């Protein structure tokens, strides 16, 4: 069984405290990364003890509570199935056939079948269907074959065995491993799947996300591809897979443990929806010129003269980020008159798209680890293009490898369905369009008007959030429907796509987003009393066109939820339900109109009894193809 590959959660600990409690706490913070099974392996004088079960972290936590231990080191994992079905045996960690090596792994070992056949021919036995167990057994085989008597002892032999095994695998990995012969030491490595060291006081950790370390340390080291870390309680060292020493660079986490807690909210998604005024405020902080006529970005690493030579911009993204790229296309072409193309990152890498020499590439990824976007970025850089990034994750691979970029400063986003990260991306797209437009032909006065509009956005979002109870009432009215259409024109088309995606992701309702005028070219066949339409009707030049589209839907007995900022200009009784937004300039409408569809999707999903923070078949970040 091969399921959709995504980022799962890794937490490892070596220190002076009880490892089981720390690992369980870390897993709970990473549960949104993968949650069909969980497990931990602990090492003490009695050897490696394995605890793993299908289900959520709480299931394995109960197992750990029933088997108390004083172990002060261990590794743990939350899994979302790639190779092998959802069973206790396929859950991580995996133990080698000889009981010497325990391993947790994110990624896919593409040549696992070949390696497995070779190991079986040499007498190695397997207990699971996973590619991860193949790597555990390969490390154990290399370790068994390694002489521990000719320098370094068991510790050096263990690290060398990990290196030897990794040199034989093809694919992606983020791993944490421990050896029964080497108490007090962990080994980790990465290639294509993020891995981070948490540097503590008398303890060190390793994880796939900084959230694993929240409350224990703010000092972290981001591993690069091809690097191996050897952790002890009091220190650590980093080398390449081929044994070259690396000087670590310690960074600081810029958010606290409270940022990653639910607080008084029932779900992270709702919490993050209500955090959007602050997220937008943070995205703007310090990024407007003193005269209030343009935006400014300190990390682009490209001067205005170079930017004026740009003839074309290509945006690369996946999923929700791709929708924010579409907003950027509309706004940059309008404000700066620069042709913009938006590409699916997953297609760009293989398409060999022709780009002229004056092309600038932007990669957009909340996590900064999305594998398709990362590899598309690398392909563009390989061909000599200037590549900039927009990401929320300081220290992420995309942030470290590109030529420059813009941090969102949205804070941690735990809910799988992106909310505040998306609106921050959209708002930054508007600021970027302003920045480029002022370099071209946008006037000082027009620039000041745009800046003023952008600065008012957090307050406008707060006004929308004040209507959450009204939107919840509308959501309950339509929660039993199984098909939805989202229609918008111009800047509202990407928001229609995003609204449909949000509803699909968390409520499992079939939903489609279309340009409103395209309804007559096919989707109108779906209109019926059981297929509601969410119609975006912003005040402006296409307002009357959208009203005509709504009338066509009503003529065919289709329910309509209209979202509008037109006030009394929106005809009374035209739509079945109307979500009224405050009047706003066009440049901020994509950000503002997103909020009610986020709330609508959230409340519908809750009414249907869905787990909105952990939707089925999805996790937060896709880090393997």
Output Rg (C-alpha) for the chain, integer angstroms: 26
Predicted confidence band at 3 (pLDDT cuts at 50, 70, 90)?
Answer: very low
C-alpha span between 364 and 398 (Å, rounded): 9
pLDDT for 256 = 63
- Residue 484's SS3 state is strand
* Burial of 55: CB neighbours in 10 Å, binned 0-12, 13-18, 19+: middle
Instruction: Note the pLDDT tens digit of each residue in 171-226.
Output: 989 999 999 999 999 999 999 888 999 999 999 999 988 888 888 888 999 999 99
Q: What is the mean pLDDT of residues 567-577?
A: 92
Residues taking part in catalysis = 8, 620
pLDDT for 1 = 29
- Residue 175's SS3 state is strand
Residues in Cβ contact with 362 at an 8 Å cutoff, skipping those fewer than 6 apart: 313, 314, 315, 316, 325, 328, 387, 388, 389, 390
Q: Where are the domains of the chain?
A: 9-259, 262-455, 466-613
Predicted confidence band at 148 (pLDDT cuts at 50, 70, 90)?
Answer: low
Instruction: Note the pLDDT tens digit of each residue in 491-548.
Output: 999 999 999 999 999 999 999 999 988 888 888 888 899 999 999 999 988 899 999 9
Predicted confidence band at 284 (pLDDT cuts at 50, 70, 90)?
Answer: very high
| pLDDT for residue 624 is more than 70 | no
Predicted confidence band at 244 (pLDDT cuts at 50, 70, 90)?
Answer: very high
Lowest mean pLDDT among 233-237, 245-249, 261-265, 282-286: 261-265
Instruction: Say which residue, 604 or 92, is predicted with more confidence.
Output: 604
pLDDT for 448 = 97
Instruction: Note the pLDDT tens digit of each residue in 336-393.
Output: 999 999 999 989 888 877 788 899 999 999 988 888 888 889 999 998 899 999 999 8
Instruction: Note the pLDDT tens digit of each residue in 295-331.
Output: 999 899 998 888 988 999 999 999 999 999 999 999 9
Q: What is the mean pLDDT of residues 24-34?
A: 78
Q: What is the mean pLDDT of residues 421-444?
A: 96
DSSP 420-443: HHHHHHHHHHHHHHHHHHHHTT--
DSSP 8-class letter at 613: T
DSSP 8-class letter at 516: G
pLDDT for 2 = 32
If you classify domain 9-259 with CATH, what class do you get? alpha beta
Instruction: Note the pLDDT tens digit of each residue in 247-264.
Output: 998 988 776 656 667 888
Q: What is the mean pLDDT of residues 69-89?
A: 84
DSSP 8-class letter at 97: T
Q: Give the whole-number percent of the chain exceeding pLDDT 70.
A: 94
Ramachandran angles phi, psi of 563, nearest 5°: -115, 120
Q: Mean pLDDT across the chain, nearest whole number? A: 90
| pLDDT for residue 65 is more than 50 | yes
pLDDT for 372 = 87
Same fold, 9-259 and 466-613: no
Stated as kind and residue range, the H or E segment containing 500 is helix 492-507
pLDDT for 475 = 97
pLDDT for 6 = 43
Instruction: Say which residue, 490 or 622, is predicted with more confidence.
Output: 490
Instruction: Say which residue, 148 or 274, is predicted with more confidence.
Output: 274
Q: What is the mean pLDDT of residues 568-596?
A: 94
User: 262-455 belongs to which homologous superfamily?
Assistant: Glucose-6-phosphate isomerase like protein; domain 1 (3.40.50.10490)
If you classify domain 466-613 with CATH, what class do you get? alpha beta
């Amino acid at each position: 069984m091969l399921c959709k590959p995504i980022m799962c959660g890794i937490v490892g600990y070596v220190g002076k405290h009880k490892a089981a409690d720390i690992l369980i706490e870390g897993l709970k913070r990473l549960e949104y990364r993968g949650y069909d099974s969980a497990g931990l392996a602990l090492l003490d004088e009695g050897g490696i003890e394995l605890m793993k079960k299908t289900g959520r972290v709480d299931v394995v936590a109960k197992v750990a509570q029933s088997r108390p231990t004083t172990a002060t080191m261990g590794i743990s994992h939350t899994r979302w199935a790639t190779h092998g079905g959802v069973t206790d045996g396929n859950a991580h960690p995996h133990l080698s056939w000889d009981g010497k090596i325990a391993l947790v792994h994110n990624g896919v070992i593409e040549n696992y079948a070949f390696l497995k056949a070779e190991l079986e021919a040499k007498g190695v036995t397997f207990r699971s269907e996973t590619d991860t167990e193949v790597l555990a057994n390969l490390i154990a085989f290399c370790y068994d074959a390694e002489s521990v008597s000719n320098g370094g002892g068991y510790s050096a032999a263990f690290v060398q065995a990990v290196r030897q095994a990794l040199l034989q695998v093809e694919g992606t990995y983020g791993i944490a491993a421990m050896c029964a012969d080497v108490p007090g030491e962990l080994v980790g490595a990465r290639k294509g799947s993020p891995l981070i060291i948490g540097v503590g006081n008398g303890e060190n950790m390793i994880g796939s996300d900084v959230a694993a370390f929240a409350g224990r340390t703010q000092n972290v080291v981001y591993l690069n591809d091809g690097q191996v870390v050897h952790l002890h309680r009091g220190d650590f060292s980093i080398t390449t897979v081929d044994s070259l020493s690396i000087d670590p660079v310690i960074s600081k986490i810029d958010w606290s443990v409270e940022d990653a807690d639910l607080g008084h909210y029932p779900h992270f998604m709702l919490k993050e929806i209500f955090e959007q005024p602050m997220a937008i405020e943070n995205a703007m902080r310090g990024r407007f010129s003193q005269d209030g006529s343009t935006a400014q970005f300190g990390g682009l690493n490209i001067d205005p003269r170079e930017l004026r030579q740009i003839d074309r911009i290509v945006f690369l993204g996946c999923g929700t980020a791709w929708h924010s790229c579409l907003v950027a296309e509309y706004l940059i072409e309008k404000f700066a008159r620069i042709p913009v193309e938006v590409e699916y990152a997953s297609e760009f890498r293989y398409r060999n798209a022709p780009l002229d020499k004056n092309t600038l590439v932007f990669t957009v990824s909340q996590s900064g680890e999305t594998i398709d976007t990362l590899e598309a970025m690398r392909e563009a850089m390989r061909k000599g293009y200037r590549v900039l990034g927009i990401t929320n994750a300081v220290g992420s691979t995309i942030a470290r490898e590109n030529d420059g970029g813009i941090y969102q400063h949205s804070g941690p986003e735990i809910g799988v369905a992106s909310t505040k990260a998306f609106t921050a991306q959209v708002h930054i797209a508007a600021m970027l369009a302003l920045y480029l437009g002022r370099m071209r032909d946008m006037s000082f006065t027009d620039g000041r008007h745009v800046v003023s509009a952008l600065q008012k956005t957090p307050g406008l979002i707060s006004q929308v959030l004040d209507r959450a109870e009204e939107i919840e009432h509308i959501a309950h009215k339509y929660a039993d429907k199984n098909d939805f259409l989202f229609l918008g024109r111009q800047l509202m088309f990407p928001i229609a796509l995003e609204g449909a995606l949000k509803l699909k992701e968390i409520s499992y309702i079939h939903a489609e987003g279309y340009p409103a005028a395209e309804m007559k070219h096919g989707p109108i066949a779906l209109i019926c009393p059981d297929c509601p339409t969410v119609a975006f009707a912003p005040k402006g030049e296409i307002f009357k066109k959208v009203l005509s589209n709504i009338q066509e839907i009503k003529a065919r007995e289709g329910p309509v939820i209209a979202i509008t900022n037109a006030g009394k200009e929106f005809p009374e009784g035209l739509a079945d339900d109307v979500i009224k937004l405050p009047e706003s300039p066009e440049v901020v409408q994509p950000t503002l109109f997103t909020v009610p569809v986020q709330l609508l999707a959230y409340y519908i999903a809750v009414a249907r009894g869905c787990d909105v923070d952990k939707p089925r078949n999805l996790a937060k970040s896709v880090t393997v193809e």
